[in-house]
Amino acid sequence: KASMKKIHWERSMQMQTEQQTWQESPEGRKMLEFRCSLPAYKEKDAILSAISQNQVVIVSGETGCGKTTQIPQFILESEIEYIRGDMCSIICTQPRRISVMAVSERVAAERGELLGETVGYKVRLEGVKGRDTHLLFCTTGILLRRLLVDRNLKGITHVIVDEIHERGMNEDFLLIVLKDLLPRRPELRLILMSATLDAELFSSYFNGAPLVHIPGFTYPVHTHFLENILEMSGYRLTPDNQIDDYGQERTWKMNKQAPRKRKSQIASAVEDTLRSADFQEFSPETQESLSCWNPDCIGFNFIEYILCHICENERPGAVLVFMTGWDDISSLKDKLQSHPILGNTSRVLLLACHGSMASSEQRLIFDKPEDGVRKIVLATNIAETSITIDDVVFVIDCGKAKETSYDALNNTPRLLPSWISKVSARQRRGRAGRVQPGECYHLYPRCVYDAFADYQLPEILRTPLQSLCLQIKSLKLGSISEFLKRALQSPELLAVQNAVEYLKIIGALDENENLTVLGRYLTMLPMEPKLGKMLILGAILNCLDPILTIVAGLSVRDPFLTPLDKKDLADAAKAHFSRDFSDHLALVRAYEGWRDAERDLAGYEYCWKNFLSAQSMKAIDSLRKEFYSLLNDTGLVDSNITMYNSWSYDEHLLRAIICYGLYPGICSVLHNEKSFSLKTMEDGQVLLHSNSVNARDSRIPYPWLVFNEKIKVNSVFLRDSTAISDSVLLLFGGTISKGEVDGHLKMLGGYLEFFMNPTIAEMYRSLRREL
């Protein structure tokens, strides 16, 4: 023991010497100077003394003040100073994987080290950590997973939970677990960091934990709403939302040569933007004043127009464009690259910043471009608080972000663009004022901003709780409802009961709320349980290629486009992919056609011809890879086994897997003379959405439909559906426990004829092995 102590001490001494040497080197001195210039530096002593005197400390401060990069270092440096460097182990969590990588790399650089020395990182499937790593950045999910095997976080001295103001589900969940842990680990220190000043809530949650606020400074930002942008271009929004050229002197002098032509371009771009906005969620007055607008996409032409204005007329400075997601970003980037001004690489450096970008691309975002080159970064809301780009002077804000929203009707979360909150809009605007006074262009009128919610609801209150409940169970945290009562803001009891009930129905929990084998596999797949179920059975039955497409397809915007004026043509194009009474299988065919065309670089033409969204196809393509690697983690796919074999495309088998995932989303098909009617248990009569391939047939030769989603308008409509037989429902609806498999196997003889497929027997044999 004594010799261990000596080793620790020697290593700690060494850490101190190394750090001193670095700080005295020319680069080290420069880095230190920069660090000392950050607002966080001035609060260093206050922060450290609060941490030494309290088990929990909350730190808040403007984005970019140095919380994420500096505070973990302050702690590390203070431990080193007290010759405890080798004894400390600091974990700092981030909500997103990309900030883990960016921040850890930055912190290592500030310390003059490579990643994997004192500073390491860990995200799913990737990480760098060495024997001497004492500061580890990881995603919140990674820390939750660690708690699975290490309930007391043995050996960890400090846990820092960053970006708690975002109120993500994982963070709220982690806080309950840590709160329970604190009494068991009295020497453990917990530091919570937040951008906006909602810190009182956290302080009272942790029994009056002290707050340290880092005062920040930002330059004023000039704000333009849509009407101001129009006015500067010499136009005006009339009360009925038409664009009117009222002959005003233009402030934006872009239209010297061909004013008339210019006008029509801008006018139509803006009108497009307005038309494509969905203002249903707003107050009746706002809706009234915006009645002819409708959002799914933001007006790309309009963004292009503003970017052009900035490049042509404005002072130097980088531009940050907030968009909804990766698909929008990549389409806009393609579009801008072919623009005469914005695509000119000697004048413009065009970059993307989103959750799934490569780390080489990431670094470029922080670099200053050469003189005369303007940096334009197209970003998702990760650039709102987690990533700070220093030289931004102009911000363009589309007003939307993708968030999961809870549809209480059918418990389905979907990642859809929705309006941001006032806090987010202010945060986005603030990004323009970091180095000098800035400009912010909001692509929506003032009245829309006024109708934004003040704050966004915490995720735990707006998304279904099924995955969270599974996690609570896998961490053995006792009764789900009791546990969730201890949350910062508890979800409604009904929402909790719904989730537990659903998990029992699909066989992830048994009657006593214990995890089943299936449940345990589902906890390894961070996605909706129904998608996880499909992937699991798809893997067991070796049908992954088509099933990955279906699961990815259920996670993106509907790839089948139906322009209102060409609905018949679009429906016919979709029908072309359908021969088996299944929207899901139609998607598989559409995707495979696209994949073949894309190989010959004809993906766009293919999409155009078939009324498909090329963006959605690309998104499906990348999600497939992501889901495959998730599945790999569970050990259910063997890398020796290919994604498909001769029966992977067997229609009956695929129907069975779809049913296994979508159950209990099921309705019966009742035929009368000419057509059929549909009924579900809960709603009675339901209708098919007119885009469904099943809506076009008057006879469905199956007694049941499984569906992914119900929408209530006046009646209840089912979106994508797949027809299934009695036997598929019998065998794949609900739970498959080991006993039932045995029972079913006995009956299977009779059904084999019905399936007309001998592979079912083989499939059951492998199911039996796995479950």
CB of residue 320 to Mg ion, shortest distance in Å? 16
Number of residues that bind Mg ion (CB under 5 A): 2
Number of residues that bind ligand ADP (CB under 6 A): 15
User: Using the rule CB under 6 A, is 64 a contact of ligand ADP?
Assistant: yes
Give the nearer residue to ligand ADP in terms of CB position, either 373 or 630.
373
Give the nearer residue to Mg ion in terms of CB position, either 19 or 63.
63
CA distance 317 to 393: 5
Which amino acid makes up residue 242? Q
Which of ligand ADP, Mg ion, none binds 410 (CB below 5-8 Å, type-dependent)? none
Can you tell me which of 12, 19, 69, 233 binds ligand ADP, judged by CB under 6 A?
69
**115 φ/ψ sector (left φ>0, alpha ψ -120 to 50, else beta):** beta
CB of residue 498 to Mg ion, shortest distance in Å? 35
Binding segment for Mg ion (CB under 5 A), chosen from 6-14, 68-76, 481-489, 661-669, is 68-76
Comparing CA positions, the residue from 359, 360, 392, 358 lying closest to residue 377 is 392
User: Using the rule CB under 5 A, is 427 a contact of Mg ion?
Assistant: no
CB of residue 395 to Mg ion, shortest distance in Å? 18
Binding segment for ligand ADP (CB under 6 A), chosen from 68-76, 127-135, 655-663, 726-734, is 68-76
User: Using the rule CB under 6 A, is 102 a contact of ligand ADP?
Assistant: yes
CB of residue 311 to ligand ADP, shortest distance in Å? 24
CB of residue 366 to ligand ADP, shortest distance in Å? 4
Give the nearer residue to Mg ion in terms of CB position, either 67 or 719.
67
Can you tell me which of 15, 56, 59, 67 binds ligand ADP, judged by CB under 6 A?
67
Q: How many Cβ atoms from other residues are within 10 Å of residue 424's Cβ? A: 23
Greatest extent of the chain over all pairs of C-alpha atoms, in Å: 90
The distance of Cα 42 from the centroid of its chain, to the nearest Å, equals: 35
SS (H, E, C) 408-445: CCCCEEEEEEEECCHHHHHHHHHHHHCCCCEEEEECCC
DSSP label at residue 248: P
How many CA atoms lie less than 13 Å away from 293 in the CB half-sphere?
29
CB of residue 362 to ligand ADP, shortest distance in Å? 8
User: Using the rule CB under 6 A, is 66 a contact of ligand ADP?
Assistant: yes
CB of residue 138 to Mg ion, shortest distance in Å? 15
Q: How many Cβ atoms from other residues are within 10 Å of residue 202's Cβ? A: 20
Binding segment for Mg ion (CB under 5 A), chosen from 33-41, 53-61, 67-75, 608-616, is 67-75
Helix (H, G, I), strand (E, B) or coil at 321: strand
- Cβ neighbourhood burial of 113 (10 Å; 0-12, 13-18, 19+): middle
User: Using the rule CB under 6 A, is 361 a contact of ligand ADP?
Assistant: no
Give the nearer residue to Mg ion in terms of CB position, either 19 or 385.
385
Binding segment for ligand ADP (CB under 6 A), chosen from 7-15, 62-70, 80-88, 617-625, is 62-70
Comparing CA positions, the residue from 300, 316, 321 lying closest to residue 395 is 321
Can you tell me which of 12, 19, 60, 68 binds Mg ion, judged by CB under 5 A?
68
CA distance 413 to 301: 31
Can you tell me which of 68, 542, 610, 727 binds ligand ADP, judged by CB under 6 A?
68
CA distance 559 to 557: 6
Which amino acid makes up residue 676? F
Q: How many Cβ atoms from other residues are within 10 Å of residue 386's Cβ? A: 21
User: Using the rule CB under 6 A, is 382 a contact of ligand ADP?
Assistant: no
Give me 133's structure tokens: 């790593």
User: Using the rule CB under 6 A, is 427 a contact of ligand ADP?
Assistant: no
Query: Got the DSSP string for 548-580?
Result: HHHHHHTTSS-SB---GGGHHHHHHHHHTT-SS
User: Using the rule CB under 6 A, is 433 a contact of ligand ADP?
Assistant: no
Binding segment for ligand ADP (CB under 6 A), chosen from 63-71, 272-280, 447-455, 576-584, is 63-71
Give me 5's structure tokens: 């102590």
Can you tell me which of 60, 63, 104, 555 binds ligand ADP, judged by CB under 6 A?
63
Comparing CA positions, the residue from 232, 265, 267 lying closest to residue 248 is 232
Give the nearer residue to Mg ion in terms of CB position, either 67 or 122.
67
Binding segment for Mg ion (CB under 5 A), chosen from 60-68, 119-127, 233-241, 434-442, is 60-68
CA distance 496 to 501: 9
CA distance 729 to 722: 12
Interface positions with ligand ADP (CB under 6 A) = 38, 61, 63-70, 102, 106, 366, 388, 390
Interface positions with Mg ion (CB under 5 A) = 67-68
